[in-house]
Amino acid sequence: MDIFVNLNNKQTQAVRETEGYVRVIAGAGSGKTKLLVSRYAYLVTEYGIDPSNILCVTFTNKAAGEMKKRISKLIGPEYSTSLICTYHGFCARLLRENPEKLFLTRGFQIIDTYQQKTLLEEIYQKYELKLDWANFQSIIKKIAQKKQDISYVKRMAQADKVQLLSEINTLDDQIIEEYMQRQKAVYSLDFTDLMMYAIYLLTNDEEVRNKWQERLNYIQVDEFQDSSSIEMQLVDILSGKYQNLMIVGDPDQNIYEWRGSDVKLLVDFDKNHPGTKTIILNQNYRSTPQILNCANTLIEKNALRLKKDLFTRTLPGPSVTHIHAKSEDQEVEEIVKTIRKIKKEKGKSYSDFAVLYRSGFLSRVIERKLVEEGIPYEIYGGVKFYQRMEILDVVAYLRLIAFNDDLSFKRIINTPRRKFGRTRVAALERIRENNEINLFDVDLKDKSLYEVLKTHLGDQAFNGSGGGQFVSLIENLKALKDRLKISELVNRVCIDSGYEQYIRELGDEERLDNLSEFKRIANEFESGFGEDINLEGFLQQIALMSTEDTDKPVEAVKLMTIHASKGLEFPVVFIIGFSEGIFPSSRTIEERKKLGLEEERRLCYVAITRAQETLYLMDSEGQSQNGIKKLPSRFLFEIGEQNYKRVGIISDDLEREAFGYMHRLDLSITEELPPEQQSGELYVEHHIFGKGRVISFDTKRKVYTVQFENMTLPRSISADYFSKKHESLPVIKALPQEKEVEYLPPEIESNSLPQKIDNSLQPTDDLNKLTLFEQKTEKEEEYRSLPHWDEDIDKEEFTIEMPELEKNGEDVSETVEEIEITEDGEDEEEIPDEKKIPPELKAKLDAAPNHWEDPNFPKTGWSCTGVTDLGSPVGICEMCGWQIIRYVHHMVHDSGLSLDCGCVCAGKLEGNIERAKKREAAFKNKEARKFNFKKRTWKKSGRGNEYLKIKNHIVVLFHFRDSDKWKYSIDNEFCKKSYNSRNEVIEAVFEALEKLLYS
């Protein structure tokens, strides 16, 4: 056997590099699994290292299983490969060897997501709260955060009942405390516990630490870019003695930062591990040169990476194609047409095609079209095998036999039907709670519901039920569990319980097939771990695999999110939804700023490199799921238009709009204000309006509200005004603050303020500070060079009455002068004055069509989806083509057409001008109310919480400093959501008050 026969030079170098710290940067499709398998075999066959002294960590059980098969082919089946496992699998094994050190039994339970949800539902029901999916996700995240304080393990490991959380301040804390107490009572660990218990034991028990450090001569970790700091800590402890650690990963494929992974661990590995040798695998064996050109050009825009360019010796393939469609329907029609064409011409099967998308909602349209056209498809990563009803039911029977746990009892006591529903289960709980007298004189307080049923079978409450037969069944199986093989026990459970017959009577062949597959898994488990493995060990393995999908390949087009596609490859790939705000996700960018944008770019890189032969990039015009106009994604431009051919035309106006949107979004991730400008009152000098004071900043719209000295009313100035060069440059000055200014809101954030502009800076230098684009296209520069149309138009303003802050210790509700609606509405639009119009805007006016004069353009069937304030009159009505507008009415036609119009044209299109005027007036009034609301002075309560009284409603802000989250209450009713900043919670309070007072 020659291990090196199919390896390239870099792979060979990595295999032979066995000692010390080794970092392998393995690009997409570069053969990293082949490297890991070969190195493992090299250590065993050439160095004579026993496999029990090699730990090989992967991220999924599926990947571990595949690696075991490939290694066994190289070194022979006689070697044990049990230490090829996931992080959680290794931790479970470590804890099983010394469970008594942490107050565990050897058969401790591992609870999965489903069991966590069931447990939390009981706790929420106790507190008379509803646990929906959003609440479940939120509380699970909080539980994991609480468990990052590893000191809880010491308290969990105490035999006595003690408080497990260091502090209990909120209702969430009470829920988490009870969740952990219930875990402790039944010796169960969730996936976070597995890691934290293992690290605690290794850190605090020298005997255990020395044993494992001595045992593990070599460690290699796959997909290291997805590791967290906790996992890094575990690996560092285990490799502490021999320091023979190889990590393999690709910073460009880290797409799980939202789940706790930290790409910096891979990028900076050499800084924290002196003497690290770095080897880069950049020869791709998967994709064509055309596909790799797109991937390389895109990912080089990221800063947080280790530079590498993928190359291939594969022959050139077809050009990458970007299809720009006029509608979603046309987009999916093109996909269907292309699938049929390639299938016919190249003999491909349906399973050779994959449709990838950033978010799950994007699958709806393509699903509908595939159904209409009779093309089979499969949503990959839908309902996972171990989460299917029939598998959960059989596992619940096995868990009850092994552990007597209540979750499993409640799931299967009435499955199949035994006339033992919720009422009788509730009766059991009452008996246990009241510790009622029973035939066996047993204390019931700490007993499971199954044990309570055993001692109360004669109670009248359970007469006529199948409780007696159920107890007989379980007792019989308990007696057999240590004598039967796992596969035999599984078969007896299915048959003796009547469950298999129950599934047959349902008439669902797929569920029967799943039961058969589960029996086969039990057989494979015995083969892999030996026939003497017990039921508890089998259930632990099932829990570890419960998030894995073991479905067999299906002859169908694969639909999946990009996250689900990681590690897969397909001959033909369609990536849909290349619209700005969708991909990249505006929410991710707003929440995580530059790091969020870089992760979105990595996600796109992963999607591109799934394609082997043919790649299609898809986008369409129209409106998104939120009713927002769809604009081409920045990724289409960053990939490099020279790297693909385009089908369809993106108009210059649409492209300009796209760059405008990107620029506004980028402003949210600009660098912080210099320290010298972070205190004091902030003044600006405007080249038209003169000197003024900043009194507020709208973080969403990126607009400053400035009170200029020579003007009665404040003006809204867009943030990007301060990034442009004007005839007289605006200068930000920080002046000493002599006294508190009542109307300067505390929520102005220093990192949102305009940058000081040095007269020595050239426009391009300043632009580089304010954008994340590292390589700008000519059209982008063209957009950014357009001057702002800052015209003083009094009739576009509205009057705001300043609220009194306090009188006699009581808040006085604000008043807002409503906007008067004129009779004809004509003065709502701005009539162009050619002397004042910049040349670029005038050129747009001259080129803009007047659709009123077009007899073929639809004049009816329109509706409005919302109003937007541009901040100043800089827009052109897309219907008439001659009105300059500030307030944009977004109009949509029944056919899918969309227009941005002024008030009058919008009213005419929907057949009701009065409605359009009222809509715009209502929008302005709401903006005025928001303006006033944000200037309110909040008082402090005795506990330090900010509060406000508005129209007899009491609003209180709560800042939870441990998690740095914010909540609010109105009239003692708490909001459901948590917010990341005071600004966010203020926005939420305003919207809640709007619904309360004006809906």
* DSSP structure class, residue 671: P
Instruction: Report the pLDDT value the prediction gives residue 408, as an integer from 0 to 100.
Output: 92
Q: Does domain 386-545 have CATH number 1.10.486.10?
A: yes
The answer on pLDDT for 669 being more than 80 is no
Strand partners, 623: 629
- Assign 442 to helix, strand or coil: coil
Closest CA to 660 of 617, 618, 702: 702
Strand partners, 875: 885
The answer on pLDDT for 765 being more than 70 is no
Here the tokens at position 988 are 């939420």
357-387, pLDDT tens digit by residue?
Answer: 988 778 878 887 888 888 988 888 655 667 7
- Assign 60 to helix, strand or coil: coil
Residue with tokens 């994604």: 633
Residue 997 neighbours by CB distance under 10 Å = 12
* DSSP structure class, residue 869: E
Asked whether residue 31 is marked as a ligand-binding residue, the answer is yes
* Parallel/antiparallel/unpaired status of strands 953-960 and 965-970: antiparallel
Q: How far is CA 281 from CA 9, 67, 124, 333, 654, in A?
A: 9, 19, 51, 39, 40
- Phi/psi at 276 (5° precision): -65, 135
Assign residue 995 a region (left: φ > 0; alpha: ψ between -120 and 50; beta: otherwise). alpha
32 catalytic per annotation: yes
Give the separation between CA 954 and CA 993, rounded to whole angstroms: 11
The mean per-residue pLDDT over the stretch 852-864 comes to 86
Most confident of 760-769, 808-817, 911-920: 911-920
Q: How many degrees, rounded to 5, is the angle at CA 205 between CA 201 and CA 206?
A: 135
Give the separation between CA 164 and CA 861, rounded to whole angstroms: 62
The mean per-residue pLDDT over the stretch 631-656 comes to 91
- Assign 561 to helix, strand or coil: strand
222 catalytic per annotation: yes
Asked whether residue 28 is marked as a ligand-binding residue, the answer is yes
Contact between 615 and 321 under an 8 Å Cβ cutoff? The reply is yes
Q: Does an H or E element contain 211, and which? A: helix 206-215
Give the separation between CA 608 and CA 322, rounded to whole angstroms: 12
Residue 156 neighbours by CB distance under 10 Å = 22
Instruction: Report the pLDDT value the prediction gives residue 749, as an integer from 0 to 100.
Output: 36
- Phi/psi at 36 (5° precision): -60, -45
Contact between 747 and 982 under an 8 Å Cβ cutoff? The reply is yes
Between 465 and 435, the more confident residue is: 465
Asked whether residue 159 is marked as a ligand-binding residue, the answer is no
The answer on pLDDT for 794 being more than 90 is no
Classify each residue of 587-613 as buried b or exposed e, where b means 16 or more C-beta atoms within 10 Å of its C-beta: ebbeebbbebbbbbbbbbbbbbbbbbb
215-228, pLDDT tens digit by residue?
Answer: 999 999 999 988 88
Here the tokens at position 573 are 């790939």
566-600, pLDDT tens digit by residue?
Answer: 889 999 999 999 998 889 988 788 777 888 888 89
Closest CA to 515 of 525, 527, 502, 531: 502
Asked whether residue 260 is marked as a ligand-binding residue, the answer is no
Instruction: Report the pLDDT value the prediction gives residue 231, as an integer from 0 to 100.
Output: 92
The per-type count for the chain, helices as H runs and strands as E runs, is 35, 30
Give the separation between CA 25 and CA 266, rounded to whole angstroms: 9
Instruction: Report the pLDDT value the prediction gives residue 236, as an integer from 0 to 100.
Output: 94
Instruction: Report the pLDDT value the prediction gives residue 386, as an integer from 0 to 100.
Output: 73
For 121, residues 6+ apart whose C-beta sits below 8 A from its C-beta are 131
61-104, pLDDT tens digit by residue?
Answer: 888 888 888 888 888 888 888 899 999 999 999 999 889 889 88
CA 573 to chain centre: 23
The answer on pLDDT for 816 being more than 70 is no
Give the separation between CA 917 and CA 24, rounded to whole angstroms: 64
Here the tokens at position 630 are 């769809």
Tell me which fold the domain 311-384+556-670 belongs to. Answer: Rossmann fold (3.40.50)
The mean per-residue pLDDT over the stretch 270-298 comes to 92
Give the separation between CA 302 and CA 253, rounded to whole angstroms: 12
What is the torsion angle, in degrees rounded to the nearest 10, for the CA atoms of residue 707, residue 708, residue 713 and residue 717? -70
Q: Which of 193, 223, 666, 796 is catalytic?
A: 223
Here the tokens at position 77 are 């089946």
Instruction: Report the pLDDT value the prediction gives residue 827, as an integer from 0 to 100.
Output: 39
- Phi/psi at 639 (5° precision): -65, -25
CA 914 to chain centre: 43
Cis peptide before 416 (omega within 30 of 0): yes
Which 3-state string (H, E, C) describes 232-251? HHHHHHHCCCCCCEEEEECH
When pLDDT is cut at 50, 70 and 90, the band that residue 541 belongs to is: confident
* DSSP structure class, residue 856: T
- Phi/psi at 409 (5° precision): -55, -50
The mean per-residue pLDDT over the stretch 14-19 comes to 92
Rg (CA), the chain: 33
Q: Which of 112, 172, 190, 222 is catalytic?
A: 222
What burial class does residue 54 get, using C-beta atoms within 10 Å of its C-beta: 0-12 exposed, 13-18 middle, 19+ buried? buried
Lowest mean pLDDT among 216-230, 862-876, 908-922: 862-876
Is pTM, for the whole model, over 0.75?
no
Q: Which of 305, 410, 602, 610 is catalytic?
A: 610
For 182, residues 6+ apart whose C-beta sits below 8 A from its C-beta are 119, 123
Closest CA to 266 of 227, 220, 237, 301: 227
Length of the chain: 999
* DSSP structure class, residue 283: B
Between 229 and 721, the more confident residue is: 229
691-720, pLDDT tens digit by residue?
Answer: 777 776 665 556 677 787 776 667 777 766
Share of the chain above pLDDT 70, in %: 80
Give the separation between CA 556 and CA 567, rounded to whole angstroms: 19
Which one of 3.30.420.40, 3.30.450.20, 3.40.50.300, 3.30.230.10 gives the CATH number of domain 9-98+205-281?
A: 3.40.50.300
For 379, residues 6+ apart whose C-beta sits below 8 A from its C-beta are 363, 367, 559, 560
Closest CA to 237 of 262, 212, 261: 212
Assign residue 128 a region (left: φ > 0; alpha: ψ between -120 and 50; beta: otherwise). left
What are the strands, taking DSSP E only, across 562-620?
570-575, 611-620
The answer on pLDDT for 475 being more than 90 is yes
The mean per-residue pLDDT over the stretch 606-635 comes to 88
Contact between 120 and 139 under an 8 Å Cβ cutoff? The reply is yes
Q: How far is CA 255 from CA 77, 331, 502, 580, 839, in A?
A: 35, 27, 43, 19, 45
Here the tokens at position 175 are 């829920």
Lowest mean pLDDT among 137-151, 422-436, 556-570: 422-436
The answer on pLDDT for 606 being more than 70 is yes
- Assign 663 to helix, strand or coil: helix
Contact between 673 and 748 under an 8 Å Cβ cutoff? The reply is no
Q: Which of 12, 13, 17, 33 is catalytic?
A: 33
Give the separation between CA 736 and CA 130, rounded to whole angstroms: 52
Lowest mean pLDDT among 310-314, 317-321, 672-676: 672-676
Asked whether residue 30 is marked as a ligand-binding residue, the answer is yes
Q: Which of 253, 288, 609, 771 is catalytic?
A: 253
Instruction: Report the pLDDT value the prediction gives residue 539, as an integer from 0 to 100.
Output: 87
Lowest mean pLDDT among 4-8, 372-376, 705-709, 747-751: 747-751
Give the separation between CA 289 and CA 319, rounded to whole angstroms: 9
Instruction: Report the pLDDT value the prediction gives residue 443, as an integer from 0 to 100.
Output: 59
Closest CA to 94 of 227, 235, 229, 222: 235
Which 3-state string (H, E, C) describes 4-27? CCCCCHHHHHHHHCCCCEEEEEEC
N-term to C-term CA, the chain: 77
Closest CA to 450 of 402, 404, 396, 398: 404
Q: How far is CA 506 from CA 412, 416, 551, 751, in A?
A: 17, 11, 22, 61
The answer on pLDDT for 470 being more than 90 is yes
